[in-house]
A and B are shown apart, each in its own frame.
Chain A
Amino acid sequence: MEENTSNEKATGLIVDEQADRSIAAKLVYVARLLWRDKAGLIGLVMFLLVVFAAAFSPWITPHNPMQQDIQASKQAPAWAEGGSTEYLLGTDSLGRDVLSRIIYGSRVSITVGFLGVMMAFTLGMMIGLISGYKGGRTDNIIMTLVNMVLSLPYLVFVVFVAAILGNSLLNVILIFGLTDIPIFVRVTRGEVLRLREEGFIEAAQSIGQKTPRIIFKHIMPNLLGPLITLATFEMSAMIFYEAGLGFLGLSVPPSIPSWGNMLAMGRQYLTVYPWMSVYPGLAIVFTGFGMNLFGDWLRDAMDPRMRQKKK
């Protein structure tokens, strides 16, 4: 053991750590990776904060987000003139607590972002795998469709569909989930085309592995890195677009507090009572920024070759 210590140092701690495959050891390993890259850590904390807010909204909100208090309407945030600690971030034109509404609004954003991306991810990856691995005519047909969808102006298309389907949470998820498939298809296909020519695929064939196994065991793990990274970026984009739809009144019904709805409502008071739209706006930026930081870290962490390069 001893004479080889220098060698083990040269290859990093990974050799040692990965020999212990218990879940606890893996968690510790991930935690150490995160600790080394502070930006990723900050991103994850920001994202988890939003998830926490969404999960525990009823317990952490100071007020019922629907409850109107006309006498306290348009109240400034606590630290500004005319504000009170009862409504920390002020109230909107109907006297509803902005902070509580932001916390509840995260539920819509996270739900739409997460489910939408899940849908686009799974379907997009499947279609992309088929397209890339089968090639030929199948590939041509799929890619023509993908390019057609991608050539549509995205927001206009989404607005159009949303306007037809009408507002409900399920519709919003479906719209984003379906319209985002082409991006996942394209990235998957590109990666599969590249991976298909790799020596290790030939090597896997040479030891008699069957096609499904090659796809799932050899190609898919190589796809997860780029795709999960794409997913985090797409999720933050989806949260933006959901807010955009909400701003146009095409996302969830106005009765449900969402960041987009709040922006729309605050728009007419923007110059006079900016807190009504600035804080939900900040919530959107906060979430998006956190997810992008985390996504960046994830891309490196998913690749065993990148993991140890980072100091």
Chain B
Amino acid sequence: MSSILSVKNLTTRFNTFDGTVYAVNGVDFELQPGETLAVVGESGSGKSVSVLSLLGLLPAESAEVKGTAHFQTKDTQTDLLAISKEKLNKIRGKHISIVFQDALRSLNPVLTVGEQISESLMTHMGYNKRQAYTRAVELLENVGISYPEKRFYSYPHQFSGGMRQRAMIAIAIACEPEILVADEPTTALDVTIQTQIVELTRRLQREMGMTVIWITHDLGVVAGIADRVIVMYAGMPIELAKVDDLYENAQHPYTEGLLGAIPELGETGQNRLISIGGAPPDLFEAPKHCQFAWRCPYVFERCWKEIPPNYQVEEGHYTKCFYDMSAQQARDEE
């Protein structure tokens, strides 16, 4: 099975007045059709920026994006990072859609929800107003909004937080895209609504056969939806694994730390939550060695000298670490 999206050596830098920010430093992944790939990491680890880079949504004057991202549709293959803006516009929204974190900010306050759903349909599918209305009402119904004919004419501020996020999803899936990117869509919502949104996305994914990239910092959500997980740290994917492998057999000290920081039900309260000491590195400096070295409990000399390559620990499980967790010793130098 060939991958639907193949990203190689993606780097994103921001040239700002204060200096260069190394936001994404070499991201590689292959996205298999129909799967759910979760991208986890703390704030500033480059998860959103990676995806925004792929879709050309970063400010052109400051962002410098390099690498390749081959997007495979039925008969054509395109490099998202090499094509013109016009061609990218034909892909965005039609083949790859994104649901943003803050639905209120992402909806235009002066246009009705219906208009905003219709927009994508009219642009990409060539629908006229009437067709777009019919389809938009269907979509609203499909994402679980009651009285869709009426809600079509509502403004975003008349929706609740959960409804707004549903409306955003309706916009994103309007043209039945192959890939849906969910950029922390549940962060601003309460837990009940979170679950509903997650369930909704899963159902839509099943029905439409979409591939989903789910960006989040919530490892609980990841466990529930993802097939595979990429753990990002300081702009680098430091571990990539099937979701079960990651939870049972974390191979990077950072992942281990993250998993240790999840509170468990039934704990007596005697064990304090583990936290990872220190803070993420300054992104103003180009990475020269393992970016986790400052905070790593297993750190040794080699970690300060070079950036670790990808080591395969089992099938489909890669980690960027010189320390072999299973063997509890440093890996051999080649």
Q: Which residues of A contact B (CB under 8 A)?
A: 1, 4, 11-12, 14-16, 18-19, 21, 135-136, 198-200, 202-210, 213, 217-218, 221-222, 225, 303-305, 308
Contacts and interface: CB of A to CB of B under 8 A. Distances in A.
Interface in B28-79: 55, 57, 61
B109 A202 contact: no
Given A206-B55, A208-B92, A208-B93, A222 B108 contact: yes
Nearest to A225: B110
Which of A1, A12, A21, A304 neighbours the largest number of chain B CB atoms within 10 Å of its CB? Answer: A304
B126 to A, nearest CB: 13
A207 B106 contact: no
Nearest to A223: B110
B108 A11 contact: no
Contacts of B153: 15, 18-19, 21
Contact of A199 (B90, B106, B120, B149): B106
B91 interface: yes
Given A205-B57, A305-B155, A217 B106 contact: no
14 contacts: A11-B154, A135-B61, A199-B100, A202-B100, A203-B98, A203-B168, A206-B55, A207-B92, A208-B94, A208-B123, A209-B89, A222-B110, A305-B155, A305-B157
A205 B155 CA distance: 20
B90 A208 contact: yes
Q: What is the interface of chain A mostly: helix, strand, loop, or mixed?
A: helix
A217 B57 contact: no
B321 interface: no
Contacts of A15: 150-151, 153-154, 158
Contact of A16 (B92, B102, B150): B150
Interface in B139-174: 146-147, 149-155, 157-158, 168, 171-172, 174
B150 A19 contact: yes
B155 A200 contact: no
B105 interface: yes
A199 B91 contact: no
Which of A12, A136, A200, A202 neighbours the largest number of chain B CB atoms within 10 Å of its CB? Answer: A200
A305 B108 CA distance: 11
